A and B are shown apart, each in its own frame.
Chain A
Amino acid sequence: MADIVLDHITKKYGDGYEAVKSMDLEIKDGEFMILVGPSGCGKSTALNMIAGLEDISDGELTIGGEVVNSRAPKDRDIAMVFQNYALYPHMTVRENMGFALKLAKVDQKEIDRKVEEAAETLDLTEHLDRRPANLSGGQRQRVAMGRAIVREPKAFLMDEPLSNLDAKLRVQMRTEVAELQDRLGTTTVYVTHDQTEAMTLGDRVAVMRSGILQQVDTPGELYNDPVNLFVAGFIGSPSMNFVHGKVSGNEIELPFATLPLTDELCGAVGDSDGREVIAGIRPEHFEDAELVGDHLGAGVTFEAKIDLVESMGSELYAYFDAGSDHVDKVEQAASEAGLDELAGGDTNQIVARLAPESKAHRGETLKLWVDQDRLLLFDPETGERLRA
């Protein structure tokens, strides 16, 4: 067990393309760290550099206090779980799981004991003598995990290990992975493009975009306190709504309502009257005005014409149009922040998550309430969050 420290790690390819740019990240001993970001953001490259499968162009990588930049993967004492499992098809499950120990010239009895122990934890005992080809996707995935845990390595590296499973199995395996990591307490770096996995699994989450680390924080902090437009838009599902806003005095004019600014936000925008900003509001910070009691705190009520209603049973998503005059500006800012790469980036539509009792109907006008305290403001030029 060990901590992993990335100090200004850079990956530069022969053609000058930088896949990872000067990445600083400190993964504590026993921590479950998630690297998340859209495809091509450099998260897998970063993981491969930690594993030693790709050379580090610049910077220093330390595992357990030792600089390992020039060490071969086999000398780093790390185990890796691959997206496509990468099980050896010509070996049985038992041989697959014991392969690393056998290479390390561990006594055969000891190998058997460890493999059987791991198989028991992973519910694989009855499959030990089968070959990977005869196993289901979930079983293969567990063998891949088993191959990692029998080693008792310093760290686990997982490269989208659940992305090949069907949706139901993925949720189930997600719980199992979390439990396993919790029990073993081994430092784990987990790469995923799925923000739900990132939010549910990690002790901390590192959000990456275009090779640059955006923010490293606990899932809760990332959600409530994102540093920029990209993190705000990437974390959370459905994602945060972005609208164009104009500050005037202590208020901000949004396309659908005018909201008073909290003291904190006033400090953040400064006293520049008429400043244009991007405002971010999470879907759950809207509510059907009729259902808002006094307990929800200060808010503003406005009317909106509902375009679409999706009922999930436990909640209800109402989509309404924010008006087209603001769209261009928001779209430009969002595309600069890289949000257009993400699915569902329709900036024209605003999503509100309402209580299931809401009477919202398609095509009707509904009175909506918005929580004025939960507004986040971003600089339209840089995408940075505006803070006091």
Chain B
Amino acid sequence: MENTGREKTLWTIALVLVLIFALIPVLWIISLSFKTPATITDQSFIPTEFSFENYESLFTGGISESPFIKPLINSLGIALITTFISIILASFAAYAIARLDFPGRSVMLAGALAIAMFPPISTVGPLFDMWRALGLYDTWPGLIIPYLTFSLPLAIYTLVAFFREIPWDLEKAAQVDGATPFQAFRKVIVPLAAPGMFTAAILVFIFAWNDFLFAISLTSSDASRTVPAALAFFTGDSTFTQPTGSIAAAAVIVTVPIIIFVLLFQRRIVAGLTSGAVKG
């Protein structure tokens, strides 16, 4: 190529622009979280007075007093349980869809897609009534169930794509080698689909972690309120102060697990784990 040098420069400029556009709000929140209440509105991008006050205020008073610790536990617990159940169910479903030829297979996939397309807001009202009648309102399962409903289609779709990539012969080989169908699935298929499982797990976790709609509608107390919903209930030090600083600090804290999660599994999400299985 002739224009390699020029193309490279243009690409770099475009990349930097996109990076600035994406990162400025994040940096701003980080900056806000380190400002003192007095300087919070000084419009300076870099904090003039650097303090951990906002972070400390989130955790003062222990689990009973702090407005943040219990929601953080709720968020972690609900997101992890949702991810775990969702991945197990989705891997069975995806395996069946990818491998077996049964009547209604395409209907099932289409149904899953339809659920994913369904606007969650339209289910909130009925769910509110149903959950109150069933005693699920303001409980962990009360959030886990709708999260599963909306994350399963996503997980199934991702996993079907990964399972389809795995050569059929590997499973036949395992069966001839003496494995039961379940052993073949667990010892051969699952390890090979691991990158797909991690991808799906991250997507489900982020979905459950970030959700605001269900969290705000189906909870009423710290018993099950997750962080995104709890942020809306933050109060300032006095009636007339905005809780901007603490909200910023809380936002930074809830972003951290996502970043850790992605960084941890990023290396597992590499295609090409199956290379060498068959001729290639």
Contacts and interface: CB of A to CB of B under 8 A. Distances in A.
B179 A103 contact: yes
A331 B183 CA distance: 53
A179 to B, nearest CB: 23
Contact of A89 (B172, B174, B180, B274): B274
Nearest to B272: A133
B173 A80 contact: yes
A242 B279 CA distance: 39
Interface string A125-157: 000000111110100100000010001000001
B180 to A, nearest CB: 7
B177 A103 contact: yes
B267 to A, nearest CB: 15
Nearest to B275: A133
B25 interface: no
A197 B192 CA distance: 34
Contacts of A99: 174, 177, 187
A87 B192 CA distance: 12
Given A86-B172, A88-B170, A74 B278 contact: no
B273 A90 contact: yes
A254 interface: no
Contacts of B174: 88, 99
Given A74-B179, A80-B172, A103-B178, A86 B278 contact: yes
A286 interface: no
A56 interface: no
A85 B279 CA distance: 7
Interface in B239-280: 273-279
A44 to B, nearest CB: 12
A36 interface: no
A103 B177 CA distance: 8
B270 to A, nearest CB: 13
Question: Which of B169, B178, B187 has most chain A Cβ within 10 Å?
Answer: B178
B173 A89 contact: no
B178 A53 contact: no
Contacts of A370: none
A82 B276 contact: no
A132 B279 contact: no
Contacts of B178: 74, 100, 103-104
B125 interface: no
Contacts of A74: 175-180
A20 interface: no
B188 interface: yes
B279 A164 contact: yes
B120 interface: no
A103 B167 CA distance: 21
A98 B125 CA distance: 57
Interface in A329-353: none
A52 B179 CA distance: 13
Given A87-B277, A134-B276, 4 more contacts: A84-B167, A86-B169, A87-B173, A133-B276
13 contacts: A53-B176, A80-B176, A83-B169, A85-B279, A86-B169, A87-B278, A88-B173, A88-B174, A89-B273, A104-B178, A131-B276, A137-B279, A147-B177
